[in-house]
Amino acid sequence: MDLFVIQILNSLYYASTLFLIACGLTLIYGVMRIVNLAHGSLYALGAYVTAGVVLALDTIHPAVVFLLLPAGAFAAAAGGALLEPSILRPLYQRAEEYQLLATFGLLLILEDVMRFLWGALPLSPSTPADLLGSSTILASTYPNYNFLVIAVGFVAAAGTWAFVYRTRFGVLVRATSQDMRMASALGVDVKRVYVQAFTLGCFLAGLGGAITVPISGAAMGMGVDALILAFVVVVIGGLGSLEGAFVGAIIVGVIRTLGINFFPEVELAILYLIAAVILLVRPVGLFGRP
Amino acid sequence: MSVMGPSANPVFTARRFGWVILLAIVLVVLPWVLPPYQTILLSYGLIFAIAALGFNLLLGYTGLLSFGHSAYFGVGAYTVAFLVKYLHTSSMELFLIGGIVASAAISVLFGVICVRYTRIFFAILTLALSQVLWSLALKFYWVSGGTDGLRVPTPSLLGGLVGATKDKVAFLSHTYYFVILVAFAACVGVMWVIVNSPFGKALQAIRDNETRAAFVGIQVRRFRGLAFLISGLFTGLAGTLWAPLNGLVTPDIVYWPFSGRIVFLTVLGGFRTFTGPIIGALVFNYLETYAIAATTYWQFVLGAILVVLVMAMPAGIVGTVGRLGLRLRRAT
């Protein structure tokens, strides 16, 4: 029984992280129809910035580290706000292969920028997680910090949903996503919506990296690995769908947890196979609009 | 005239023939002129050229962007490694047969699934399927060696007549270089015939306008499937040739950034021309080797080149040089 509870918590923990990454990916695709291969690198950037800041300042006061956690999210958002107008904007009218390639180039650049700034060795700023200690659930102990990550994931999901469906900005985003030309003709500043949506997407990815770095650390290649899992989430849920990213993240989170326990060899293969099968049966994903 | 992709000119003029002969002579003489290291480096370039040539049949001629060509390269290479590990053979002929059969099988399987879609869905589907193979290569370490990979010894040719009697470097820089060169020449020839055949023309028609192609009676999905199979075969053959040259097969070559690299070098050369992928592969090979030697941050250099390329030189090296040449000729 307690094992079951722990597994559910682990699934939710995975799902929270994955949702934060996939949500930005799907938002960016939904609005500007670009598959951003560098998205995982922004997640890694968030992790590295928070790790660097926490490791540098965690001796000041224990409470300070919690205030420092979001630093990575803001750094990734700033990165996004710079990259969209400079690299992506000239490419919207071009063929998809160029967009994929440009973001692939961006991925290579970001990987090395992070290697340059923080070195090739992994960083593990575990202070925030240590400070919170762990609690006992039935007979097992579970780190309290993981509850924080799960909470952040759900708050981010609710916040993004409210943002997109309950604010004026959300109306503009959805209008642009449905028909960019019509929105533009009706006076929407499409360029601004693009840069805002892209920044928001990068913020969420950075938040994903920042919030999980006290548990899993920051290491080279984490962005490349994360991107491909976020891809699976987005493909299952439907490219461009927020609800899809949420459900997809939970599905992938549960399968990963089951996989690690029961079929570790084929855990990843099963995820990719599910993504492939969904693409075959329903290419728009579970929640995508045809 | 098509603006979307290569419009192969089937006219094989005497002048072109002369250039090809000259190039062939240079390539044959090179191992005696160049130091062994340079010959081996060139061998890598030629192998990637074969992979890119196959890849471009899909991207340049059929209009399908595969982001999963690491799968076929990986199947070709791992087949060699498995033949060594389980059948204890080092016969190059067996390697080639095994690699071709295995990559054909996997290309048919993946092709049947993937050609139902185009554009971004095709790209993601090919990516997802290639990552299935990658995760298997990574996780079944007792079969595949995991991240440590599998060793591949120097192969023997013609049933042991030409074998690993000499030292490895001499073998790779002479005997094996010619194996690769012959394969490369054959691939270029076969691909040239394919893209200029009625089948190749049909692919270009599908690329330019799928609906019209279907209306004139081209079986779009079947032709795409065939192109996918040929493309996978070429890339698989490249992987088969690569394994003994590299001596070690690791899951990196099946991971998705490797697919990105095949796309990169094809676009670098110019996917709208026949020679583009070949030039791109050779240039990329030198570029990467010297960037790695020059700086720890070679990925940054390659990434920056890629971004600039996409922004400023989308036609690639061959396309841009061709356009410049045309302008010069008009000016004079």
Contact A39, A28 (CB under 8 A): yes
Overall residue count recorded for chain B in this entry: 332
Kindly determine whether residue B119 and residue A96, on different chains, have CB atoms separated by under 8 Å.
yes
pLDDT band for position B227 (cuts 50, 70, 90): very high
The answer to whether position A23 is within a domain reads yes
Q: What digits encode the pLDDT tens for the residues B169-179?
A: 777 777 888 88
The answer to whether position A127 is within a domain reads yes
Tokens of B182: 């012959």
pTM for this model (two decimals) = 0.85
The answer to whether position A91 is within a domain reads yes
The answer to whether position A268 is within a domain reads no
The answer to whether position B104 is within a domain reads yes
pLDDT band for position A237 (cuts 50, 70, 90): confident
Q: Residue B54: what pLDDT?
A: 92
Is residue A156's pLDDT more than 60? yes
The answer to whether position A73 is within a domain reads yes
Highest mean pLDDT of the ranges A7-11, A62-66, B96-100: B96-100
The answer to whether position B287 is within a domain reads no
The answer to whether position B281 is within a domain reads no
Number of domains in chain B: 1
Q: What digits encode the pLDDT tens for the residues A123-138?
A: 888 777 777 777 777 7
Q: Residue B46: what pLDDT?
A: 92
> Mind telling me how many Å the CA of A271 is from chain B's nearest CA?
8
Kindly determine whether residue A116 and residue B297, on different chains, have CB atoms separated by under 8 Å.
yes
Q: What is the 3-state secondary structure (H, E, C) of chain B?
A: CCCCCCCCCCCCCHHHHHHHHHHHHHHHHHHHHCCHHHHHHHHHHHHHHHHHHHHHHHHHHHCCCCCCCHHHHHHHHHHHHHHHHHHCCCEHHHHHHHHHHHHHHHHHHHHHHHCCCCHHHHHHHHHHHHHHHHHHHHHCHHHHCHHHCEECCCCEEHHHCECCCCCHHHHHHHHHHHHHHHHHHHHHHHHHHHHHCHHHHHHHHHHHCHHHHHHCCCCHHHHHHHHHHHHHHHHHHHHHHHHHHHCEECHHHHCHHHHHHHHHHHHHHCCCCCCHHHHHHHHHHHHHHHHHHHCCCHHHHHHHHHHHHHHHCCCHHHHHHHHHHHHHHHHC
Tokens of A16: 């929270």
Of A102, A224, A264, the CB nearest to B310: A102
Q: Residue A35: what pLDDT?
A: 85
Using a CB–CB cut-off of 8 Å, the residues of B that contact A are 59, 65, 67, 113, 116-117, 119-121, 123-125, 127-129, 131-132, 135-136, 138-140, 255-257, 260, 263-264, 267, 296-300, 302-307, 309-311, 314
Residues in A closer than 8 angstroms to B65, CB to CB, are 96-97, 100
Instruction: Please classify residue B326 by burial: count the beta carbons closer than 10 Å to its beta carbon, then call 0-12 exposed, 13-18 middle and 19+ buried.
Output: exposed
pLDDT band for position B2 (cuts 50, 70, 90): very low
Query: Touching check for A260 and chain B: CB below 8 Å?
Result: no
Number of domains in chain A: 1
Of B113, B140, B300, the CB nearest to A109: B300
Range of the domain at A40: 2-221
Q: Residue A242: what pLDDT?
A: 85
The answer to whether position B280 is within a domain reads no
Range of the domain at B144: 14-254
The answer to whether position B272 is within a domain reads no
Residue A143, amino acid: P
Q: Which of B100, B85, B69 is nearest to B144 (CA)?
A: B85
Of A101, A232, A265, the CB nearest to B139: A265
Kindly determine whether residue A96 and residue B123, on different chains, have CB atoms separated by under 8 Å.
yes
CA B102 to CA B235: how far, in whole Å? 12
Q: Which residues of A38-66 are buried (b: 16+ CB within 10 A; e: fewer)?
A: bbbbbbbbbbbbbbbbbbebbeeeeeebe
Q: What digits encode the pLDDT tens for the residues B236-295?
A: 999 999 988 888 888 888 888 889 889 888 888 888 888 889 989 998 888 888 888 888
Residues in B closer than 8 angstroms to A87, CB to CB, are 307, 311
The answer to whether position A290 is within a domain reads no
Kindly determine whether residue A101 and residue B310, on different chains, have CB atoms separated by under 8 Å.
yes
Task: Count interface pairs A-B at CB distance under 8 A.
Answer: 130
Of A113, A272, A283, the CB nearest to B135: A272
Q: What digits encode the pLDDT tens for the residues A95-150?
A: 777 888 889 899 989 988 988 888 888 888 877 777 777 777 777 778 888 888 88
Residues in B closer than 8 angstroms to A276, CB to CB, are 113, 125, 128-129, 132
Is residue A190's pLDDT more than 80? yes
Q: What digits encode the pLDDT tens for the residues B56-78?
A: 999 888 888 888 899 999 999 99
The answer to whether position A136 is within a domain reads yes
**Window A:261-290, CB contacts with B under 8 Å:** 264-269, 272-273, 275-276, 279-280, 283
> Mind telling me how many Å the CA of A17 is from chain B's nearest CA?
20
Which residues, including other chains, have CB under 8 Å from residue A158's CB and lie 6 or more apart? none
H-helix or E-strand spanning residue A78: helix A71-83
pLDDT band for position B8 (cuts 50, 70, 90): very low
The answer to whether position A280 is within a domain reads no
